[in-house]
Amino acid sequence: MAKDDIFKKIIAHCKEYGFIFPSSEIYDGLGAVYDYGQNGAELKNNIKKYWWDAMVLLNENIVGIDSAIFMHPRIWEASGHVGAFNDPLIDNKDSKKRYRADTLIEDFLDKLEDKIHKELEKARNKFGDDFDEEKFKETNPRVLETRKKINEIKSRYIKASEKEDLGELKQIILDAGIACPESGSKNWTDVRQFNLMFSTQLGSVNEDTYTIYLRPETAQGIFVNFLNVQKTARLKIPFGIAQIGKAFRNEIVARQFVLRMREFEQMEMQYFISPGTEMKWYEFWKNARMKWHKAIGMGDEKYRFHDHDKLAHYANAATDIEFKFPTGFKEVEGIHSRTDYDLGNHEEFSGKKIQYFDNETNKSYCPYVVETSIGLDRTLFSIISNAFTQEKVDWEGSAKEERVVMKIHPALTPVKLAVLPLTKKDGLPEKAREIMDNLKLDFNCQYEEKDSIGRRYRRQDAIGTPFCITVDHQTLDDNTVTVRYRDTMKQERVNISRLQEIMGEKVSMKKLLEKLK
């Protein structure tokens, strides 16, 4: 199936099964804003818990906070967002579609890389074991020509971005012959800067109001609380502050479901360190964060690092962890070495001393920062899109039928188990309720008695419930139930007294966290 068709199918599934709804749908929706339904909210909470516990529970020197969304407007001047949190915008005059000029160029470079990749694959198939990849890359004229083109565009692009030379960005698009992905037209407007921050007015009387911004990242709430937290928690460097919260960006191009929203959620951790140790901690957090992603078990090959060629205004090293979505690799998390840019600027703009006193050296300094910044919505969608599986199965001996099953890690699934009485009579519902009452304090359970058992299994498969517990007449005689496993569809007869142990083992967040040690 084409990539776009799978993407659309998954989006439809998200809506049909209560994961994600378009916001304000009865008013025809609101661009790039989404609501999480009953299953999406549970999944989101579980991911947050996995992240929070991995940061705050497992690291004695990391604490978590929850800062306000509204902050003093000077914060965004100090952080550089008022001046530099811009995207270069370009319109196609024929299709009237709007794009980010940088994204158009980066996508074009990716296409050229793909071209080289395809040449290599073709040659590998042709020459088999005798294929010498390095030699081929150095001598094949088509590969050499494409590589030269990539290097030329890249070097112009980096220079133009650093100098914020918008005329040159447009010239690169024209020289490279980049066309509008929708219409194929090369008729472009000039490139303009567009600030991504939303603003609003604070205060009730006209004269008292002033403009404030909806935060475009959660990190600044951590920086401005650096002294409060360090002093009250008596933390010694190195230490970290973690936070989960909403961020807002008026994205120019927001056509990718929850991958690019105007209101989204970030899970960020700022690690405060002494100057000169930043590369050590940058490497440390790169590895630690990759381990966290891979522990979810979606396949190590689905992840890769992508080092930034073009650094943000605050960073001296930066990489992205990218995940392979059905439409291709895309960033889910950024790891940035932010130097003392933020604390230093807040010191200057606020006029307050923001220093750390090192008892051992008897010196004060402005700490450096390595940050890990992961998008909750993109992580959630990586899990959903990876879990979405269509299978041909034999339902109770009938002809082959398709089932959709969400193979989400059991510790993260919205519902952990469903308790299903085989029929609505003979005391089976009462027995099922009794079982559920015992389990619901530990697990998110669902009770369902409507429809055939096969239909109920299918509904649970579609939301990823790892266990279905069926209560039948035999249960009343010998206190046993059948446990049906989501992925294998195997059924097993077990005593009710063992349910807690069977479920607990599989759905435990502890098991997931243990992989990080």
Residues that bind ligand ATP (CB under 6 A): 217, 249, 251, 260-261, 264, 266, 331-334, 373-375, 377-378
Q: Is 36 strand, coil or helix?
A: strand
* Cα distance between residue 34 and residue 24, in whole Å: 8
To the nearest whole angstrom, how small is the minimum distance from the Cβ of residue 161 to ligand ATP?
13
Strand order in the sheet with 467-471: 445-447, 417-421, 467-471, 480-485, 491-495
Which residue number, 264 or 303, has a Cβ lying nearer to ligand ATP? 264
Contact yes or no for 225/65 (Cβ under 8 A)? yes
CB 211 within 8 A of CB 73: yes
Q: Please say which residue, 289 or 458, places its beta carbon nearer to ligand ATP.
A: 289
| Smallest separation (angstroms) from ligand ATP to the CB of 364 | 30
Based on CB atoms, which residue is closest to ligand ATP, 255 or 363? Answer: 255
> What are the phi and psi torsion angles at 78 (to 5°)?
-60, -40
- Position of minimal CB gap to ligand ATP: 375
Q: 377 phi and psi, to 5 degrees? A: -70, -40
Which CB atom, from 191 or from 374, has the smaller least distance to ligand ATP?
374
Q: Measured from the CB atom, is 45 or 250 closer to ligand ATP? A: 250
| Sign of the C-alpha dihedral computed for residues 259, 181, 303 and 149 taken in this order | negative
Min separation Cβ 259 and ligand ATP, Å: 6
Say if residues 197 and 214 touch (Cβ distance below 8 Å): yes
Closer residue to ligand ATP, CB minimum distance, 76 or 264: 264
Query: How many helices and strands, by DSSP H and E, does the chain display?
Result: 18, 23
Closer residue to ligand ATP (CB): 76 or 356: 76
- Kindly tell me which of 375 and 414 has the beta carbon lying closer to ligand ATP: 375
Instruction: Give the number of C-alpha atoms closer than 13 A to the C-alpha of residue 437, restricted to the C-beta side.
Output: 6
Dihedral over Cα of 403, 407, 411, 412: its sign: negative
CB of 261 to ligand ATP, least distance (A): 4
Are the beta carbons of 58 and 513 closer than 8 angstroms? yes
Shortest Å distance, C-beta 434 to ligand ATP: 44
Q: Which is nearer to ligand ATP, 33 or 116 (CB)?
A: 33
Minimum Å gap between C-beta 440 and ligand ATP is 33
Minimum Å gap between C-beta 249 and ligand ATP is: 5
> Cβ of residue 65: shortest distance to ligand ATP, in angstroms?
18
Helix, strand, coil % over all residues of the chain, rounded to 5? 45, 25, 30
Please state, in angstroms and rounded to a whole number, the distance separating the CA atoms of residues 330 and 345.
31
CB of 215 to ligand ATP, least distance (A): 12
CA distance to 145, 241, 274, 443, 513, per residue, from 60 (Å): 53, 11, 18, 28, 15
Q: How far is the CB of 264 from ligand ATP (least distance, A)?
A: 4
Closer Cβ to ligand ATP, 378 or 407, answer by number = 378
∠ CA 105-109-114 to the nearest 5 degrees?
A: 145
Comparing CB distances to ligand ATP, the nearer of 124 and 246 is: 246
Other C-beta atoms closer than 10 Å to the C-beta of 37 total 18
Residue type at 447 in one-letter notation: Y
| Shortest separation between residue 35's beta carbon and ligand ATP, angstroms | 14
Which residue number, 332 or 462, has a Cβ lying nearer to ligand ATP? 332
- Strand, helix or coil for residue 310: coil
Residues in Cβ contact with 45 at an 8 Å cutoff, skipping those fewer than 6 apart: none
Kind of pairing between the strands at 239-248 and 210-213? unpaired
Whole-number Å distance between alpha carbons of 195 and 203: 23
Q: What are phi and psi of 170, to 5 degrees?
A: -65, -40
Give residues with Cβ within 8 angstroms of 141, minimum separation 6.
Answer: none
Cα–Cα distance for residue pair 194/250, rounded to 1 Å:
9
Question: Strands 491-495 and 480-485: what pairing?
Answer: antiparallel
CB-nearer residue toward ligand ATP: 262 or 458: 262
Minimum distance of ligand ATP from residue 372's CB (angstroms): 9
Nearest-approach distance from CB 321 to ligand ATP, in angstroms? 8
